[in-house]
Structure 1
Amino acid sequence: MNKITGKAASVFALTVMLTIGASEGITYSAPSQLNQNNNAENRLAISAASSIKEEKVPIEYGPIPTQSDGMFHDGLLLANKANGKDVFYNSKGKEAFTLPNHLIPITDFHNQRALVEDTSTKLGGYINTKGELVIPCIYAETTGFSDGIAFVKKSKNDNGAFITPDGKSITNLKKSYSSDYSFSEGLALAYSPNNDKIGYLNKKGTLVIPYTYKYGRSFSENAVAVQTFQEKYGFIDSKGKVIVPFQYQSAGDFSQGLAPVQNESGLWGYINRKGEVVIPFQYALADSFSEGLAAVYNKQGKAGYVNKQGKLMIGYQYDKALSFGNGIAAVGVQTKTGRKYGYINTDGKLVTPLRYKRVNSFHENMAVASISDQTAVILTK
């Protein structure tokens, strides 16, 4: 029923490599030197730096639902239980509410609304954070809320409309688009009728950037990385103006004024909005900046964090490193006994043990970390 597509998710290898651990566990290829640290050293670092509370009672937590990022939104976490049922947990690990049997949750909460499906009619509607159905299940096609709106269609012959969280229709589309309608900074990706080109549409349902490019990402800081049919990446602004020429093998998002880009030699560095190289090309992989730090990987596949001047602030000692959120980042190593994950603060100190099987990023000062295939614990900052 939901119209979210997988095209945008597969655009850049960079995005996949840097976010998959947040939802599916992290794959490693080489053992880390960090596993040589003994438990006493880990306990000492944790005791000195920890401000993370772990709920004592684990929750049932299986594979992350398809249209969830595995993080808390509006204080609630969408999770899959052992019986296959999807539920919302609160910060204490309790089921926040019980939905009627014929309603199943589809998306995370955004703008205090989550998409649900009525299994008896196969139509979609929206609940609030109390589990109350506030927008009836009357839509044949729907998306979750993003940037304050959601896309809905009452029938297949309908072009669709954008609605607000109170269910009010603000735009009736004059034509149909192939899009996931995931808006960021007022714009969403749209695909040409043959699905061979991408452009961007606004909240009025107007294609403001024509079908021109092969691939594109979501807007960030009034810029977006797009790829030409010559297989080169550059950046355009919300008017479609080229602000960084098409000269890179790949590119990530602008964040805190910088964006990671890959040169023809396969190395990553960082540029500013003028296209000037601020941090030289030297990394095997590089993530976008968050809270003043960015995860980077050296040629040996080890991950650390650099600041916006390119100084290595947290050394190359991990096999996987995710972006910081709420002052905390998830990191992982491969030990002789298996994969281990934990969390560090911006000083590089462990704030949890390296004990988890899968990890998700902190958001709203909360995160969930799996301790087995079907159980997890909620962490609170």
Structure 2
Amino acid sequence: MKYFHFIPAACIFLFCQCGGQDSHFLSDTKYIPVFSEDSCQYIDHGDNLHFTGTYSDASLFYDNMALICNQSDKKWGYIDDSGELQYPAVYTRATIFNENRAWVVRPDEAPCAIDTKGRLQLTLTRASKVMIFCEGMAAFAQKEKKGERWGFIDKSGTPVIKPLYKDVKPFSSGLAAVKNEKNLWGYIDSKGIEQIPAQFSSAESFSKERHAVVRSAKSGLFQVIDTKGDTLWTIECDALISDGNTFRIKKDKKWGWCDNKGNIFIEPRFEDSESFGNPDLAPVKIRGKWGYINRKGEWKIKRQFSKAFPFFDGLAVVQTGTVYGLIDPDGHFQINPQYDRISEDYIHQSIRKGSAFTLVESDHARYK
């Protein structure tokens, strides 16, 4: 059974030798894509215009290229940091570059992997969906009679892990969360060997701190586990989300924080919240308005925004009325509220989700 087309041996050699392990989780960015009326502008942190384009969507820069979508025909392409088109906008779908590879889909075709030189590396002829490479592995889905099933290919294009799972998450810390036929989550290694048994009703990828939030299928309690599957601590709550070395916790419809041992240090009292950013300020919502607190739970920027996001590279996106701007840690606008929207990719990075452009679907009629 073929999942893909092989490429010539010489190209495979290049494929294996190129690229590093650059993450799609960024800690900083030089330019911010913002949208106003019918244009996209890439601005710096001082609101100085770098270049503009007629894009309906745009990413940050990964491997020195940004993904853009033309307004006119909704086709995707790639630009460099001067705004020059590097690869024509001819794709119906595309991902960012990660580990020196991107997935692109031409009209009526299956997903293809290209390198940063624009060279075709392989085509997943039977894949209905595919994710970016993480730790040298890319998840792909294939439609079966019993529904869509997920597996993984390595960087040579070999399907190392067959499409057996109802759902998967990317590899992190050498492990991937996978969902079996019984709707239970566990973790496998890069050879497809189960390392942590399927026993959870939900499971997240391991963080860079090498812990993961899971929920026991038996007790319904949230747990934090290490890469060996050992439970570090357990807590009863409505939701638990990793926030670096701490965790956001929801109890009785209110949000707060606990430390890396499960001890609550900011009582759940907020209607909504987002992660702590850099510096250590987190956006929280009370009575319909957002502001920022520090790790002691003290207000540092008063409640005044319609929506607020974590600080990312020294600035935070906030919404005032119907427009968006960016503030500094003192609450002063560095980029005045004047834009219709900020790139979803920038927002994703600020809330610790990585890039917003990590998956494509096939455009081949058989696998749509």
| TM-score by shorter chain over 0.5 | yes
| Counterpart for residue 346 of structure 1 | 295
State how far apart, in whole Å, the 2-side matches of 1:157 and 1:214 are.
24
Aligned match for 2:132, one of 182, 197, 201? 182
**2:248 counterpart letter in structure 1:** A
| Counterpart for residue 80 of structure 1 | 35
Moved more, 179-188 or 227-236: 179-188
Is 1:272 matched up with 2:222?
no
Among the aligned pairs, what percent are the same residue? 26
State how far apart, in whole Å, the 2-side matches of 1:366 and 1:265 are.
41
State how far apart, in whole Å, the 2-side matches of 1:271 and 1:184 are.
21
**Unaligned 5+ runs, structure 1:** 1-68
Cα distance change of structure 1 residues 232 and 139 upon mapping to structure 2, 3 Å threshold: closer
State how far apart, in whole Å, the 1-side matches of 2:229 and 2:110 are.
43
State how far apart, in whole Å, the 1-side matches of 2:159 and 2:197 are.
22
Deviations 1:232-291 (A, max 9, x none): 11112222221211111112222212211112343212112222221123222101241x
Aligned match for 1:114, one of 27, 50, 66? 66
| Counterpart for residue 191 of structure 1 | 141
Name the SS of the counterpart of 1:275 in structure 2: coil
2:275, 2:283 within 8 Å by CA — same for their partners in 1?
no
Aligned match for 1:330, one of 257, 282, 293? 282
Is 1:132 matched up with 2:84?
yes
State how far apart, in whole Å, the 2-side matches of 1:344 and 1:328 are.
8
Structure 1 residue 228 displacement after superposition: 1.2
State how far apart, in whole Å, the 2-side matches of 1:72 and 1:367 are.
13
| Counterpart for residue 97 of structure 2 | 145
Name the SS of the counterpart of 2:317 in structure 1: strand
1:78, 1:87 within 8 Å by CA — same for their partners in 2?
yes
Structure 1 residue 191 displacement after superposition: 0.6
Structure 1 residue 295 displacement after superposition: 0.8
Taking structure 2 as the reference length, the TM-score comes to: 0.72
2:56, 2:74 within 8 Å by CA — same for their partners in 1?
no
Cα distance change of structure 1 residues 222 and 170 upon mapping to structure 2, 3 Å threshold: farther
1:123, 1:139 within 8 Å by CA — same for their partners in 2?
yes
Structure 1 residue 168 displacement after superposition: 4.2
Higher RCO (CA 8 Å, separation ≥ 6 residues): 1
Cα distance change of structure 1 residues 364 and 112 upon mapping to structure 2, 3 Å threshold: farther
Aligned match for 1:260, one of 213, 218, 227? 213
State how far apart, in whole Å, the 2-side matches of 1:309 and 1:216 are.
27
State how far apart, in whole Å, the 2-side matches of 1:322 and 1:141 are.
29
Matches within 5 A, 1:282-301: 282-290=236-244, 292-298=245-251, 300-301=252-253
| Counterpart for residue 321 of structure 1 | 273
Name the SS of the counterpart of 1:266 in structure 2: coil
State how far apart, in whole Å, the 2-side matches of 1:189 and 1:329 are.
34
Is 1:92 matched up with 2:25?
no
Cα distance change of structure 1 residues 133 and 368 upon mapping to structure 2, 3 Å threshold: same
1:73, 1:109 within 8 Å by CA — same for their partners in 2?
no
1:366, 1:378 within 8 Å by CA — same for their partners in 2?
yes
Aligned match for 2:167, one of 215, 224, 243? 215
Cα distance change of structure 1 residues 362 and 283 upon mapping to structure 2, 3 Å threshold: same
Cα distance change of structure 1 residues 132 and 372 upon mapping to structure 2, 3 Å threshold: same
2:315, 2:328 within 8 Å by CA — same for their partners in 1?
yes
Cα distance change of structure 1 residues 341 and 148 upon mapping to structure 2, 3 Å threshold: farther
- The two structures, once aligned, show a CA RMSD in angstroms of 2.9
2:282, 2:294 within 8 Å by CA — same for their partners in 1?
no
Structure 1 residue 319 displacement after superposition: 2.4
2:279, 2:329 within 8 Å by CA — same for their partners in 1?
no
1:259, 1:270 within 8 Å by CA — same for their partners in 2?
yes
State how far apart, in whole Å, the 2-side matches of 1:189 and 1:174 are.
11
User: Size of the alignment, in residue pairs?
Assistant: 302
Structure 1 residue 368 displacement after superposition: 0.9
Which has more strand, going by share of residues?
A: 2
State how far apart, in whole Å, the 2-side matches of 1:191 and 1:110 are.
24
State how far apart, in whole Å, the 1-side matches of 2:106 and 2:136 are.
23
State how far apart, in whole Å, the 2-side matches of 1:204 and 1:363 are.
35
State how far apart, in whole Å, the 2-side matches of 1:177 and 1:189 are.
10
Aligned match for 2:321, one of 372, 375, 379? 372
| Counterpart for residue 62 of structure 1 | none
| Counterpart for residue 155 of structure 2 | 203
1:235, 1:245 within 8 Å by CA — same for their partners in 2?
yes
State how far apart, in whole Å, the 2-side matches of 1:111 and 1:347 are.
38
Structure 1 residue 370 displacement after superposition: 0.8
**1:269 counterpart letter in structure 2:** Q
**2:47 counterpart letter in structure 1:** G
State how far apart, in whole Å, the 1-side matches of 2:327 and 2:80 are.
22
2:273, 2:285 within 8 Å by CA — same for their partners in 1?
no
State how far apart, in whole Å, the 2-side matches of 1:377 and 1:314 are.
26
**Unaligned 5+ runs, structure 2:** 1-23, 331-368
**2:256 counterpart letter in structure 1:** G
